[in-house]
């Protein structure tokens, strides 16, 4: 049987699948597949070799949040695949599809730096070091053979909707977002056939909705149980959740961006004291308003606009009633928010209650 590397052609330190020797790709020590067919050839050999495949879907512009998902996958799977695809269907026509950061050469470099040393049973065995196995980098045409319009009314072809779970929180502000995400992730799962898949808590509604999708569509690659959610990685000193869109922030914007997490933390503290939902959220809103005043007094060149702060059931996503307290809820609650810092929309969340019911 051919080894994994035998199906690639080596040229210097660049390794690309034989079937795709494009000059438009940057040099990469990690094999890059740009078509589903070529990826499937690799996937078949992984299947024959009975290897488990961990999958980390991304839109690129990698940071330590993504890399934490990669490291978890490396630790839990024989092979790890990372996809980079900026999915037009999840961007509304007025959103930032055109300007979304695209940093492929740096992404490849960062990914290649990640490794996991498999613990060995005996001192004689040489330690096995795992690194990412492949990057799946499809074109828009590859992912949307029927074409794709960002305007839902103009779309033709097959789309996936998770009804009842995409209208709250993020879905209220971005009504077509989860349709786009559910559609592309279904396609990615079909193409990549992962044993395990890894998503970040920063986009918690997305990850829980995708578990629902895996359950409703009876997926086996991955099963809902094998769709994992990894805690949000934050800037150590400010608490700001890492996000590709943070690169849009001006210096003044970077200074105030940790505000969203601070406001959520204040609401969490109030909730833990037994204070009701409406009052918890009011305390968080007060923190934001206070900062708006400070910004004005200090003459900082930055505009803040709160989109929402909400509390929703972590399974059904129904919004909590104003009078509810921690005593009225047995199951975990998502405390989440979105804040515009100038035109950059930042999101964040904290799980209230038993997070281990969700975070696995
Ligand atoms: N700070 C983070 N901690 C943990 N996971 C994260 C973090 N940021 C992103 N992820 C996860 O990485 C995966 C890919 O996310 P994506 O490529 O959209 O990056 P992003 O930083 O979330 O970008 P954006 O700025 O567009 O929200 C998602 O599952 C997302 O939840
Ligand atoms: C899951 C995802 C890769 C689908 O495009 C995207 O929404 C993201 O990066 O969170
Ligand atoms: N991380 C979520 C991707 C998006 O906002 O489009």
The answer, yes or no, to whether any atom of ligand 1 lies below 6 A from the CB of 249, is: no
Residue 88 CB neighbours (<10 A): 16
pLDDT at 125: 80
- Nearest-5° angle of CA 33, CA 226, CA 37? 20
ipTM value > 0.90: yes
Local confidence pLDDT in tens for the 360 residues of the chain: 334 433 343 332 233 344 444 458 999 999 999 999 999 999 999 999 999 999 999 999 999 999 999 999 999 999 999 999 999 999 999 999 999 999 999 999 999 999 999 998 887 888 899 999 999 999 999 999 999 999 999 999 999 999 999 999 999 999 999 999 999 999 999 999 999 999 999 999 999 999 999 999 999 999 999 999 999 999 999 999 999 999 999 999 999 999 999 999 999 999 999 999 999 999 999 999 999 999 999 999 999 999 999 999 999 999 999 999 999 999 999 999 999 999 999 999 999 999 999 999
Both 191 and 296 in one domain: the answer is no
Rounded distance between C-alpha atoms, residue 330 and residue 254, angstroms: 37
* CATH number of residue 204's parent domain: 3.40.50.620
Look up the domain containing 101 and give its range.
5-230
CA of residue 74 to ligand 2 center, whole Å:
19
Flag whether 236 is in a domain.
no
In a domain, 239, yes or no: no
Do 289 and 204 share a structural domain? no
Which residue, among 339, 345, 343, has the nearest Cα to 307 in the 3D structure? 339
**Does 237 map to a domain?**
no
- Asked whether residue 306 is domain-assigned, the answer is yes
Query: Could you tell me if residue 121 is inside a domain?
Result: yes
pLDDT score of 23: 53
Provide residues with CB under 6 Å of ligand 3: 90, 203
**Number of CB atoms found within 10 A of residue 136's CB:** 25
Q: Are residues 250 and 223 in the same domain?
A: no
Burial annotation 203-236 (CB, 10 A radius, 16+ → b, else e) = bbbbbbbbbbbbeeeebebbeeebbbbbebbbee
The ligand 2 atom nearest the CA atom of 87: 5
Q: Are residues 183 and 331 in the same domain?
A: no
Please state the atom number of ligand 2 nearest to the C-alpha of residue 57: 3
Q: Is residue 27 part of a domain?
A: yes
Give the closest residue to 320 by CA, choosing from 288, 349, 309. 309
Reduced to 3 states (helix: H, G, I; strand: E, B; else coil), residue 20 is coil
pLDDT of residue 7: 39
Question: 281, 280, 351, 345: which is closest to 307 by C-alpha?
Answer: 345
Ligand 2 pocket test: which of 90, 100, 176, 191 has the largest number of ligand atoms within 8 Å of its C-beta? 90
How far is C-alpha 318 from the chain's CA centre?
A: 22
Domain ends where: 177, 196, 230? Answer: 230
DSSP 260-284: HHHHHHHHHHHHHTT--HHHHHHHH
Q: Based on the domain organization, do 253 and 141 belong to the same domain?
A: no
Residues 290 and 222 both lie in one domain: no
Total domains in the fold of the chain: 2
**Domain assignment present for 238:** no
In a domain, 23, yes or no: yes
* CA 353 / ligand 3 centre spacing (Å): 25
Residue ending a domain, choose from 230, 261, 278: 230
Cα of 181 from ligand 2 centre, angstroms:
6
- Kindly report the CATH number assigned to the domain that includes residue 350: 3.30.1300.10
What pLDDT, on the 0 to 100 scale, is given for residue 336? 98
Looking at the fold, whether 148 and 222 belong to one and the same domain comes out as yes
In terms of domains, do 51 and 142 share one? yes
Active site residues: 66
> How far does the centroid of ligand 2 lie from the alpha carbon of residue 204, in Å?
11
12 lies in the same domain as 111: yes
Identify the domain boundary among 230, 258, 283: 230
User: Beta strand pairing status for 333-341 and 344-352?
Assistant: antiparallel
* Shared domain check, 100 and 225: yes
CA distance linking residue 177 with residue 166, whole number of Å: 8
Examine the domain organization and report whether 101 and 16 are in the same domain. yes
Q: What is the pLDDT of residue 18?
A: 42
Say yes or no: 313 and 203 in one domain.
Answer: no
């Amino acid at each position: 049987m051919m080894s994994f590397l035998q199906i690639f052609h080596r040229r210097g330190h660049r390794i690309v699948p034989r079937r795709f020797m494009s000059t438009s790709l940057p040099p990469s020590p990690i094999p890059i597949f740009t078509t589903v067919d070529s990826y499937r050839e690799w996937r078949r050999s992984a299947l024959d070799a009975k290897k488990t495949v961990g999958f980390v879907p991304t839109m690129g512009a990698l940071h330590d949040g993504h890399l934490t998902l990669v490291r978890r996958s490396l630790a839990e799977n024989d092979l790890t695949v990372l996809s980079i695809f900026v999915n037009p269907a999840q961007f509304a026509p007025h959103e930032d599809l055109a300007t979304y950061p695209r940093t492929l050469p740096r992404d490849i470099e960062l990914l290649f730096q990640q490794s996991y040393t498999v613990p060995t049973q005996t001192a004689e065995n040489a330690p096995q070091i795992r690194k990412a196995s492949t990057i799946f980098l499809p074109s828009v045409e590859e992912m949307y053979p029927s074409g794709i319009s960002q305007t839902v009314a103009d779309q033709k072809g097959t789309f996936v909707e998770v009804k009842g779970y995409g209208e709250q929180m993020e879905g209220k502000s971005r009504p077509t977002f989860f349709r786009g995400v559910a559609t592309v992730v279904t396609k990615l799962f079909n193409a990549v056939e992962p044993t395990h898949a890894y998503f970040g808590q920063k986009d918690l509604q997305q990850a829980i909705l995708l578990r629902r999708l895996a359950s409703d569509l009876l997926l086996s690659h991955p099963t809902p149980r094998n769709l994992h959610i990894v805690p949000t990685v934050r800037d150590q000193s400010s608490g700001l959740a890492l996000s590709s869109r943070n690169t849009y922030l001006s210096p003044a914007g970077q200074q105030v961006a940790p505000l969203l997490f601070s406001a959520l933390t204040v609401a969490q503290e109030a909730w833990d004291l037994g204070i009701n939902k409406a009052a918890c959220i009011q305390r968080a809103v007060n923190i934001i308003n206070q900062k708006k005043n400070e910004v004005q007094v200090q003459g900082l060149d930055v505009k803040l606009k709160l989109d929402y702060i909400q509390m929703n059931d972590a399974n059904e996503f129904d919004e909590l009633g104003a009078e509810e307290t921690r005593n009225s809820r047995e199951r975990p609650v998502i405390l989440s928010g979105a804040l515009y810092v100038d035109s950059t929309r930042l999101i964040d969340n904290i799980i209230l209650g038993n997070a281990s019911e969700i975070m696995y």
